[in-house]
Amino acid sequence: MLEKLLADGALLQYEIDTEVAHTYAPPHSFWILSLAANAEAIDKINPAVQDAEKTNPLGWVAFDSMVDSSQSREYMTLATATYK
């Protein structure tokens, strides 16, 4: 799904990260970070997630079985910079 958003131009970049030194979060934590060019690109993300859930329901069941979403934290940051 992230690769498709990248190919479509909705995302400029994405990363799936973990901490090397576990100072902020438990050792099993991970982050999915994405960089979008504008608000219209951000608006394409939720429909892509919903489409991925419909086209690969077992993949989402498997993902949900491995992830504790009760500790989920989401935030959005606006930056006015030039991406190179």
C-alpha 25/C-alpha 18 separation (Å) is 9
Give the mean pLDDT of 15-29: 77
In a domain, 72, yes or no: no
pLDDT value at residue 58: 92
Can you give the residue range of the structural domain that contains 51? 2-58
In a domain, 23, yes or no: yes
Cα(38)–Cα(42) distance, integer angstroms: 7
* Residue pLDDT, tens place only, 57-79: 898 889 888 887 777 777 777 77
Residue 76 lies in a domain: no
**Number of structural domains in the chain:** 1
In tens, the pLDDT along 41-55 reads 888 988 988 898 899
Backbone phi, psi, residue 29, to 5°:
-75, 150
| Average pLDDT score, the chain | 83
* pLDDT given for residue 6 in this prediction: 92
pLDDT at 83: 65
